[in-house]
Chain A
Amino acid sequence: MGSSQSTSEEVRELVGKTGFSSDQIEQLHRRFKQLSGNQLTIRKENFNNIPDLELNPIRSKIIRAFFDNRNLRKAPTGLADEINFEDFLTIMSYFRPIETNMDEEQLEHCRKEKLRFLFHMYDSDSDGRITLEEYRNVVEELLSGNPHIEKESARSIADGAMMEAASVCVGQMHPEWSGEVFQLRKAYVCVF
């Protein structure tokens, strides 16, 4: 922002923190400025400027994920009102592909981070557990695009899915999940 030297220093800092390359950071910075209207921070309202996002059935959850303090690694609960560029990059870093030169430990860490991001999306009240109500909420939103499937059907589907997951993990069957039980690694890795 000031002289070019301090900018490149900042860029280098960001490269170190988030793992993006400097080109990618430049590109994301441009997009950030576009979204925020040349301000320093983005608020929830700025996401309304993205027309294609309107069609997404779970957009509220996704936008929320951008402001979730747990994803921003600032606090265990709550939502931030606005995020700056560094926070934006932090969220984006969850979507980076897995590098081929990572060792086992880094790989595990990366995968866990991605899983945790998703878990936070489902767990809206930040209590560390996905309750049946929260899961039902997710399924209802997913099916909200189809006006002919009623809420009750969505609820039964969510219930069925919960039972399925419960039957997969041995013994215990609770109406809630904790993060460790949430075991869908394979799908995640392929997608992310």
Chain B
Amino acid sequence: MLPATLPLLGMPLSGAGAGVADGAAGESVLPPAGLALLRWQWHEVEAPYLVAVWILVASLAKIVFHLSRKVTSVVPESCLLILLGLVLGGIVLAVAKKAEYQLEPGTFFLFLLPPIVLDSGYFMPSRLFFDNLGAILTYAVVGTLWNSFTTGAALWGIQQAGLMAPTVRAGLLDFLLFGSLISAVDPVAVLAVFEEVHVNETLFIIVFGESLLNDAVTVVLYKVYNSFVEMGSVNVQAIDYVKGVASLFVVSLGGAAVGLVFAFLLALTTRFTKRVRIIEPLLVFLLAYAAYLTAEMASLSAILAVTMCGVGCKKYVEANISHKSRTAVKYTMKTLASCAETVIFMLLGISAVDSSKWAWDTGLVLGTLFFILLFRALGVVLQTWVLNQFRLVPLDKIDQVVMSYGGLRGAVAFALVILLDKTKVPAKDYFVATTIVVVFFTVIVQGLTIKPLVKWLKVKRSDHHKPTLNQELHEHTFDHILAAVEDVVGHHGYHYWRDRWEQFDKKYLSQLLMRRSAYRIRDQIWDVYYKLNIRDAISFVDQGGHVLSSSGLTLPSMPSRNSAAETSVTNLLRESGSGACLDLQVIDTVRSGKDREDAIMHHLLSGGLYKPRRRGAWRCAQAHASFPLHQPVLRRSCPGRAGRGTWQCTCHQRPPRLCLWTCRRVGTKASHPWRAWRLPPAPRLP
């Protein structure tokens, strides 16, 4: 089994252990002399060991890079990794006299690309994505088609004009094939570079969305041209062109459909995992990966499948799985994606060293570089002009510059060019060399210069603001107003359909896919409120808040119909009216099957909560002046009764944990010594 996996992992059968293999063969002739204390079993662990070592080297390199802040602020990580790959490839070449490792298309498409796409699909801001879907689709489909045709045709043109060496034996179809694989914007490269640049979200989502959605177009064009080349250009009939166009729809819509089916399955299964929490992250990864593989098997667009899976399932899965699983999923995805990206760039560098695989032709290389830049810019300008007629917020010139400059090519193009069949495409080596140069140029040169360019052009940067309640509320209000106005006017526009979708989702989908308890209060406004409360409480506790670990309290955060007044923290702390500090109410008094981690969090919260003192008028200014900054919990609500000070029960007579309960229960509030909070006075709130 091991020897079979080695080619898959891109490592030659006789790898670094060449010498040992001979030794092993030699040993088997003679019987062993005696009992060996230690035996060198390299060939048994070779494959996984090498994989682990490569990943380790890449990670160590990342650590080394980030030791120097100056370097990393100027040079994007991807450049450094490629350069490292070049260096390592050179070393291996010098030592072993032949190129050992490279980026194998099989490994790339099956193992390295899925984590990155899954990560980006799952964490895609779906609202922004669907708001800009028109622009994204235009650039992805029309833009890629335009790029590939014009680049291929232009390259063929310069070959006819004699600017290319005659050894490049390629016809129009070959050039069109090459054009199709070189013209696709690459998601890995875009992510790697744009992540460090922080342009505003609209720009980012358009470029990134384009890089994801153009996969369908690239796959179709590549397959169509490949089969045309195989059939020979004379055998191509008109019906084949029609089939080509039809296959575009089949590939893209089919891929999206596969993704949505798996998203549905994933959401449905997570609904029932209440008692088997531990497998939740596993389910997420497995089903998403299965979506990828299924689409790949049916030769549909696998990237589209995974993207749609992530986008579609996120809302339901996040509602269904536990808090810990959510964290586990998030960090595992990010780790895998980062690791895969690192390995990809490093292998790109290493693969470039193997000169037996490529052949240089100046005309082809320079022509390609020039044409991809030119046609991308031209395409972006034309499409933006058309799109601005329909968009509410037009894309201005600066956005267009960033978009055309940000059209990076990456590892996908390289993997596709390696996959070409040398017998059918005789000019493959020239294409490989050109692709390597193009990828290096875009990642290194464009990656290095995009940051200064963005700064120089004063592109609107993304403002990383934390989610605020007001924003959420107003967003919802706007949505409703616009939907209403569309209803009044009788126009079925974007907001109308969004509204219809929300209604449908609320009525049918959420009921089916979400766990009962999650379904009952799923509401974005409530989610933001809850998250902000939790965050404030955690930060408060982190800053050394005196915590009463009241394990007697069982307080999941979801409100319920039958909130027993006695066990509700809110009621405990509230005097009357709306002096609520945190509106956490008990869901039911049955403790079985409760999330322990949620319970613990609420113990902390309840322990650190304050009882606002009754005051006549609302003197919030003064109140905040005397509150230490460590009480953000109070800030969240408490409009009316917040008094001059807040008090916490630190009764020394009884164990603190019972204090909150017994004080109230016995009703001897007055009899109980309440002591003022003793944190140092904090600065005035901004």
Docked-complex contact B621 and A149, CB < 8 angstroms: no
**B467-500 toward A: CB 8 Å interface, digit per residue (1/0)?**
0111101111110111111011110000010010
Interface residues of A in 109-152 (CB under 8 A from B): 118, 121, 132, 138-139, 142-143, 145-146, 148-150, 152
Please give the distance in Å from A164's CB to the nearest CB on chain B.
5
Chain A: interface residue count, which band? Answer: 35 or more
Interface residues of A in 56-108 (CB under 8 A from B): 56-59, 62, 66, 92, 95, 97, 100
Would you give 5 A-B contacts (Cβ < 8 Å), ordered by A?
A: A53-B488, A121-B477, A143-B525, A159-B637, A191-B482
**A157-182 toward B: CB 8 Å interface, digit per residue (1/0)?**
10111111111001111010000000
A178 to B201, CA, bound (A): 31
Q: In the complex, which residue of chain A has the Cβ closest to the Cβ of B486?
A: A52
Please give the distance in Å from B499's CB to the nearest CB on chain A.
8
Docked-complex contact B474 and A163, CB < 8 angstroms: no
CB-CB < 8 A to B363: which residues of A?
Answer: none
CB-CB < 8 A to A148: which residues of B?
Answer: 520-521, 559, 561
A28 to B491, CA, bound (A): 10
Docked-complex contact A58 and B638, CB < 8 angstroms: no
**B387-424 toward A: CB 8 Å interface, digit per residue (1/0)?**
00000111000000000000000000000000000000
Chain A residues in contact with chain B, CB under 8 A? Answer: 28, 31, 34-35, 47, 50, 52-53, 55-59, 62, 66, 92, 95, 97, 100, 118, 121, 132, 138-139, 142-143, 145-146, 148-150, 152-153, 155-157, 159-167, 170-173, 175, 184, 187-191
Docked-complex contact A163 and B583, CB < 8 angstroms: no
Question: Which of B496, B580, B639 interacts with A162 by CB under 8 Å?
Answer: B639
Q: Does B314 contact A (CB under 8 A)?
A: no
Docked-complex contact B468 and A132, CB < 8 angstroms: no
Q: Would you call the interface of chain B mostly helix, strand, loop, or mixed?
A: helix
Docked-complex contact B583 and A156, CB < 8 angstroms: yes
Docked-complex contact B490 and A157, CB < 8 angstroms: no
Please give the distance in Å from B459's CB to the nearest CB on chain A.
16
Question: Which of B469, B521, B624, B640 interacts with A160 by CB under 8 Å?
Answer: B469
A142-B473, A153-B526 are contacts. A159–B559 as well, Cβ < 8 Å? no
Docked-complex contact A142 and B637, CB < 8 angstroms: no
Question: Which of A47, A118, A143, A189 interacts with B488 by CB under 8 Å?
Answer: A47
CB-CB < 8 A to A53: which residues of B?
Answer: 484, 487-488
CB-CB < 8 A to A146: which residues of B?
Answer: 521, 523, 526
Chain B CB within 10 Å, residue with most, of A55, A95, A160: A160
Chain B CB within 10 Å, residue with most, of A34, A47, A161, A184: A161
Docked-complex contact B635 and A163, CB < 8 angstroms: yes
Please give the distance in Å from B382's CB to the nearest CB on chain A.
18
Chain A CB within 10 Å, residue with most, of B475, B481, B640: B481
**B148-184 toward A: CB 8 Å interface, digit per residue (1/0)?**
0000000000000000000000000000000000000
Docked-complex contact B559 and A56, CB < 8 angstroms: no
Q: In the complex, which residue of chain A has the Cβ closest to the Cβ of B561?
A: A148
Q: Does B532 contact A (CB under 8 A)?
A: yes
